[in-house]
Structures are given as structure tokens and as C-alpha cells.
């Protein structure tokens, strides 16, 4: 099945033995695929019966909460929140207390995990990974069913690219890659949580007014801007030719992303991102509340941006681009590098322009002017633009629409 073909209506793919087909009670043929996202289709009929009894607003609220829970737990941030909250309440481990009274002399002959403030690390990793995988497959599977199964025949109403779908092979691929990346990300976050729980030296503080209330309030925009601007530049770095071809191209395998695509990233890249984003915890006095809230906000919108669904930013988020912004990035590759602020792309000239075409071999976010493109390139680009959903844009129309009658194409007339 090609990526832009819809699934044959009378065939469902469900979990079970790979390659095995059989008929269900309705006489429909089913194909068992243990690693495809669509394992939830096996329970679609039962879920449909439950869902039809709920008012529409209840279903939407549940879906929104599911996205939030997935964003907050998928990479282990919830564990970091729990550790900081416990320390805020005054809880400290024996190792934490001991660290305040110990000398700076290191006994190299007796090095252990405790020496690096990582005592009981295995338990932190087990808990973080267990919760992450339960949420990834459980809530992720629910979100996939709610949109990609339950509302598949109404894709024009909710999907950013309603005529295009990931193949079963790519669905399987993103789950395998995403599952491995989850292991790395949660191990990193669990190690950080364990380190801080055991009193490892860092610059996090817990009294709201320890550095004045003004400093506490000022931290919110500072942390937000740092995390988002740093992410912009990391992302842009991985879109330079060498980094893209050796690392980031893996993530762009999914031209029509789903929520499962968010963690389907090269291991080197995901660890690089995690390290850069945790630097404020060690470089400046920082209260745990703004850092944790903004980190969860970032991961929540990471799910939104990769969902392939035409989510719109709320009125109180004038900085936040709609989901179509990052969906455009996957569809057109080297453009729209920002995540929670489109201002960085505007400042640096990497935001999508109507008079430019973007392809996988056109780097640096500038695109290629339509006036410099060949007729075949123009034709392919027009087809891409027409595959976008007008409802994904604020004006409910294709703001980048380009027809053959456009004045910029007069040389081809």
C-alpha cells in the first residue's frame, strides 16, 4: 500500500501472529501484525460501543487529557517532578544529608554508584521505563484509535494531510525506533532524578523567595526562551547536510507524522537534546517549579506537533504555532525549525515562504525560489500543496496554495 492510499475498508490490521489472516465474526478479513500501531483495531468494535454513549465534549476532553499524560510521562519527566516535589516538602535521603557533611576528597578505591549520587539507580530506571512504555502503548494506542481508526473516514475534518497515511511498514518502524529511544531517554531522566534525589550538586532551589520573588517570576520567560531557542538551533544543526544524512534523516522517514513519531529519533540525537535541555539545572539558580512546568509543556506540544492532527493553539498562546507548522516541516523537510515559537524562524529567515519550494535535498531553510525551479519541480510542489488540509490553517484555506495561473509561474504559461 502506498503512503497516499487509504486502507481498504474491508481489511483490518490487528495484533497477533505476524502474517496470519483470518475472518472475524462479521466475515471481514483481518491481518495480524504484532508491531504495527494498529493493534488497537482489534478492540475497535468494543471501544466504539463505549464511545458512542459519550457526549462529544467528553470524548474531546478525554483525548486532550490523554495527550497531556503522554507528554508528561513518555520521557520520564514525571519522575523528576516527583523528586523535586518531595525535596520541596523537605524530604531528603541519607545520602543527601551525608553529602552536605562529606569532604571533597575522592576515595578512588571505593568508587560506587553512591559516590556519584546514583544509589538505587536501577529502581528509578525500572519505574521510569515501566510507566513510559505503559503510557506509550496504552495512551498512544488510544489516541491512535480515537483519530486514525475511529475517525479515519472523516480525515478531511481533522488530519493535516488527509490524503496521505504512513504505510504499515513505517508504522512498525516508528514504534521500534521510538521504543528504543524511549529506553535511552527514560534512562537519562531516571539517572538525573536519582542524582538529584540523592543530593547531587546542582543549582536547583526549593524556596520560592530564596532569590526574591522577582527572580522567581523572571525565570519563567528565561527558561522558556532558553529551552525553545536551544531546541531551534539543535534542530537546525541536525538539518545541515552531514548531520541530517547521518542522524536526523531517520526522524524524517515519517513524512506524514503521528504521535508515535515524536520519539522515533536517532539515539545520538535524542541524548544530545536531553543533555542540552537539562543544562539550566546546573548553570544558574533555578526553581524547580518553572523548569518542570515548562519541560512538561514542551513535551505536551511535542505530541501535538507530531500528531498529524490539525490542532490549533489557544487564544492565550500567541507565541505558539498551530500543529500544521511542524507538519509542514515533515512534509517539506528543511523549513520551520521552531517548535513552541515561530518567531525564531521569522528572525532567521527559515519560515516557510509561499514563493519557495522545499525538497529533501534543499538545505538551510531557505528553499528554492519558484522562479528558479523547473516545470517538473513546480508540478510536484503544487501536488504537495494541494494535499494539505485547508482546515489546518487559521483562515481555513490553503494559505500556501499555488495554482498554474499564479503570476509567479507566468514563464511556464
The tens digit of pLDDT for each residue in 284-337 reads 999 999 999 999 999 899 999 999 999 999 999 999 999 999 999 999 999 999
List the beta strands (DSSP E) in 252-323. 286-287
Cα separation, 351 vs 365, whole angstroms: 7
Confidence of residue 38 (pLDDT cuts 50, 70, 90): low
> Which tens digits make up the pLDDT trace of 177-201?
999 999 999 999 999 999 999 999 9
3-state helix, strand, coil in the chain (%, to 5): 60, 5, 35
Beta-bridge partner residues of 14: 32
- Cell numbers representing residue 203 in the block: 543549582
Comparison of pLDDT for 212 and 73, the residue scoring more:
212
Could you give the percent of the chain with pLDDT greater than 70?
A: 82
Q: What is the pLDDT of residue 200?
A: 92
Q: What is the mean pLDDT of residues 8-12?
A: 34
Within 13 A of 91's CA, how many CA atoms are on the CB side?
10
Q: What is the mean pLDDT of the chain?
A: 84
Confidence of residue 19 (pLDDT cuts 50, 70, 90): very low
Q: What is the pLDDT of residue 92?
A: 67
Cα separation, 149 vs 1, whole angstroms: 17
Confidence of residue 22 (pLDDT cuts 50, 70, 90): very low
Confidence of residue 62 (pLDDT cuts 50, 70, 90): confident
Q: What angle in degrees, to the nearest 10, is found between the helix axes of 288-306 and 77-88?
A: 160
Q: Which of 405, 411, 364 is nearest to 382 (CA)?
A: 405
Amino acid at each position: 500500500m502506498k503512503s497516499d492510499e487509504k486502507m481498504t475498508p474491508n481489511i483490518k490490521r490487528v495484533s497477533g501472529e505476524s502474517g496470519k489472516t483470518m475472518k472475524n465474526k462479521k466475515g471481514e478479513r483481518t491481518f495480524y501484525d504484532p508491531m504495527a500501531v494498529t493493534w488497537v483495531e482489534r478492540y475497535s468494535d468494543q471501544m466504539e460501543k463505549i464511545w458512542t454513549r459519550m457526549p462529544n465534549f467528553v470524548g474531546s476532553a478525554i483525548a486532550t487529557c490523554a495527550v497531556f499524560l503522554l507528554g508528561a510521562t513518555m520521557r520520564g519527566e514525571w519522575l523528576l517532578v516527583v523528586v523535586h516535589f518531595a525535596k520541596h516538602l523537605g524530604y531528603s535521603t541519607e545520602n543527601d544529608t551525608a553529602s552536605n557533611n562529606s569532604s571533597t576528597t575522592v576515595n578512588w578505591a571505593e568508587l560506587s554508584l553512591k559516590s556519584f549520587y546514583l544509589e538505587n539507580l536501577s529502581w528509578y530506571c525500572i519505574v521510569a521505563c515501566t510507566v513510559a512504555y505503559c503510557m506509550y502503548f496504552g495512551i498512544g494506542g488510544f489516541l491512535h484509535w480515537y483519530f486514525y481508526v475511529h475517525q479515519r473516514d472523516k480525515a478531511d475534518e481533522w488530519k493535516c494531510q488527509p490524503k496521505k497515511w504512513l504505510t504499515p511498514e513505517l508504522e512498525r518502524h516508528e514504534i521500534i525506533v521510538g521504543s528504543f529511544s524511549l529506553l535511552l531517554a527514560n534512562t537519562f531522566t531516571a539517572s538525573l532524578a536519582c542524582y538529584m534525589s540523592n543530593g547531587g550538586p546542582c543549582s536547583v532551589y526549593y524556596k520560592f523567595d530564596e532569590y526574591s520573588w522577582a527572580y522567581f517570576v523572571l525565570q519563567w520567560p528565561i527558561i522558556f526562551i532558553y529551552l525553545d531557542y536551544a531546541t531551534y538551533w539543535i534542530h537546525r544543526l541536525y538539518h545541515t547536510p552531514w548531520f541530517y544524512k547521518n542522524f536526523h534523516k531517520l526522524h524524517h522517514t515519517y513524512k506524514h507524522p503521528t504521535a508515535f513519531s515524536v520519539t522515533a529519533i536517532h539515539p545520538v540525537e535524542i541524548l544530545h537534546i536531553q543533555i542540552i535541555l537539562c543544562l539550566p539545572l546546573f548553570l544558574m539558580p533555578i526553581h524547580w517549579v518553572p523548569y518542570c512546568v515548562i519541560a512538561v509543556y514542551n513535551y505536551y506540544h511535542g505530541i501535538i506537533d507530531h500528531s498529524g492532527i490539525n490542532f490549533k493553539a489557544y487564544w492565550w498562546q500567541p507565541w505558539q504555532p498551530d500543529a500544521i507548522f511542524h507538519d509542514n516541516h515533515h512534509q517539506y523537510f528543511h523549513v520551520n525549525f521552531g517548535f513552541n515559537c515561530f518567531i525564531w524562524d521569522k528572525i532567521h529567515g527559515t519560515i516557510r515562504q509561499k514563493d519557495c519550494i522545499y525538497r529533501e535535498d534543499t538545505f538551510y531553510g531557505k528553499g528554492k525560489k519558484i522562479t528558479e525551479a523547473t516545470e517538473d519541480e513546480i508540478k510536484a510542489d503544487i501536488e504537495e500543496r494541494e494535499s494539505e488540509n485547508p482546515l489546518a490553517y487559521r483562515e481555513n484555506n490553503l494559505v500556501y496554495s499555488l495554482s498554474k495561473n499564479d503570476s509567479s509561474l507566468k514563464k511556464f504559461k
